[in-house]
Amino acid sequence: QSVLTQPPSVSAAPGQKVTISCSGSSSNIGKNYVSWYQQLPGTAPKLLIYDTDKRPSGIPDRFSGSKSGTSATLGITGLQTGDEADYYCDTWDSSLSAVVFGGGTKLAVL
């Protein structure tokens, strides 16, 4: 059971928009920055979003991050088949003094 809750799967058609939620609590998302990672099959995770809403160099602006209260959201617009991957959120949990990950969300671009 993950400390952060993500939907197991989401799907949308190419060109459409999708959002992935990450629900936590006041000790983690509620007070700390959130990061998002994309993991393509058979590869290491890749940083997509950091500090809740910032994109590293090289990440297209189709990817966005936001937070409200104890929930964070990853948005992906203009979906491409290459976006099919697992997506994970993470943050620092101040009560656990630990990094916590969401359980991951599998994105299908149908």
Partner 1 sequence: QVQLVQSGAEVKRPGASVMVSCKASGYSFTGYFIHWVRQAPGQGLEWMGRINPNNGDTIHARHFQGRVTMTRDTSISTAYMELTRLRSDDTAIYYCARDTGGIYDSTLDYWGQGTLFTVSS
Give the separation between CA 97 and CA 110, rounded to whole angstroms.
39
Residue from 45, 64, 65, 73 binding partner 1 (CB under 8 A): 45
Closer residue to partner 1 (CB): 63 or 104: 104
Binding-site size, partner 1 (CB under 8 A): 28
Q: Is residue 104 near partner 1 by the rule CB under 8 A?
A: yes
Q: How far is CA 62 from CA 4, 41, 49, 82, 101, in A?
A: 24, 21, 11, 13, 23
What are 22's strand-pairing partners? 72
What is residue 82's DSSP assignment? G
Chain contacts with partner 1 (rule: CB under 8 A): 2, 32-33, 35, 37, 39, 44-47, 50-51, 56, 86, 88, 90-92, 94, 96-104
